[in-house]
């Protein structure tokens, strides 16, 4: 019991010391604002490194005027007797400047030349940028979660779209199904190794071929980048069958074009190509 009490006390002291250290660090890193003095008989002029887009004072006894239409580099500050306030200025390039402003009957300085380095930050702050990035990351994570679940469902689903297959040296490559969902096409692919040798996968890629008409017939090949890959193996063992899914952004094909699925073996020659007619691409399940 005594040992537990000592541990608890030490933990509380650690927390208090950590908070104290953090508050001291925050205080040290917080930028101290400069003070600008003004009165009601003279104009105090502030010159900024970029044209002023917006200027705001925190109290009515201070007035900051600037050319809103032309966006000039300087503004004029005047003050009436009263409590101190603050001045916030945003330049055209988004730099933010902040100052404490006070009334003073006798002024020692009438002109202030503001350096760009005295900016306290930018209106598109790092915090906002981090929040936006975090939201985008959550969105992508949610999308990945959806892909995984939907692919898992399609792998187990017993549905076929047609006879789309190729066989070479006991390796069978087959497109089992093509499913359209939201903005993507899901290609359910099966690789069957009927041989006694393992099949080491070098790459599996989708592309679109365009047949050129004329005497000199040729093919143009356009690679299709998947947005998600599900259950893609690095090896298909002997006498093993693997199902996987490639998710591609939706697309359609004309009669003179076809999709091609190419399977390539690492350090081997058992390479296969499956041609997928435009009919299957344009009419998915």
* Whether 100 and 201 share a structural domain: no
> What is the reported pLDDT for 28?
38
* Whether 107 and 215 share a structural domain: no
Structure token digits, residue 218: 């040729």
* Whether 181 and 120 share a structural domain: no
H or E segment and range at residue 224:
strand 219-224
> What is the reported pLDDT for 10?
42
| Under 8 Å between Cβ of 285 and 271 | no
pLDDT single digits (tens) 18-43: 444 444 444 334 456 789 999 999 99
Whole-prediction pTM: 0.53
Ranges in the chain, pLDDT < 70: 1-32, 123-140, 212-220
What does the DSSP 8-state code read for residue 116?
G
Residue 26 C-beta-side C-alpha neighbours within 13 Å: 6
Q: Where are the alpha helices (DSSP H) in 97-157?
A: 126-156
> What is the reported pLDDT for 67?
87
> What is the reported pLDDT for 35?
93
Give the CATH number for residue 51. Answer: 2.60.40
**DSSP helix/strand/coil, 237:** coil
Pairing relationship of beta strands 44-47 and 52-57 according to DSSP bridges: unpaired
**DSSP helix/strand/coil, 79:** strand
* Whether 121 and 208 share a structural domain: no
* Whether 264 and 175 share a structural domain: yes
Number of domains in the chain: 2
| Under 8 Å between Cβ of 203 and 264 | yes
* Whether 181 and 121 share a structural domain: no
> What is the reported pLDDT for 210?
85
Domain span at residue 121 reads 31-126
């Amino acid at each position: 019991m005594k040992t537990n009490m000592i541990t608890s006390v030490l933990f509380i002291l650690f927390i208090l010391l950590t908070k104290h250290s953090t508050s001291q660090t925050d205080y040290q890193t917080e930028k101290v604002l400069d003070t600008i003095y003004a009165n009601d008989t003279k104009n105090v002029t502030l010159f900024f490194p970029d044209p002023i887009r917006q200027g705001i004072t925190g109290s009515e006894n201070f007035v900051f005027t600037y050319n809103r239409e032309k966006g000039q580099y300087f503004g004029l500050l005047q003050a009436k007797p009263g409590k101190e306030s603050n001045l916030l200025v945003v330049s055209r390039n988004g730099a933010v400047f902040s100052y404490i402003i006070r009334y003073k009957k006798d002024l020692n300085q009438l002109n202030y030349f503001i350096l760009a380095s005295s900016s306290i930050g930018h209106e598109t702050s790092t915090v906002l940028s981090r929040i936006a990035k975090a939201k985008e990351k959550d969105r992508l994570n949610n999308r990945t979660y959806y892909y995984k679940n939907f692919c898992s469902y399609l792998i187990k689903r017993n549905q076929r779209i047609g006879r789309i297959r190729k066989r070479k040296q006991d390796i069978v490559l087959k497109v089992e199904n093509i499913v359209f969902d939201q903005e993507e096409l899901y290609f359910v692919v099966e690789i069957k190794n009927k041989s006694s040798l393992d099949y080491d996968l070098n790459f599996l890629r989708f592309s679109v071929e365009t047949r050129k008409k004329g005497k000199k017939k040729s093919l143009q090949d356009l690679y299709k980048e998947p947005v998600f890959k599900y259950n893609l193996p690095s090896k298909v063992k002997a006498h093993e069958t693997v199902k996987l899914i490639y998710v591609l952004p939706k697309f359609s094909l004309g009669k003179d074009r076809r999709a091609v699925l190419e399977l390539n073996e690492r350090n081997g020659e058992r390479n296969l190509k499956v041609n997928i007619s435009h009919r299957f691409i344009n009419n998915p399940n």
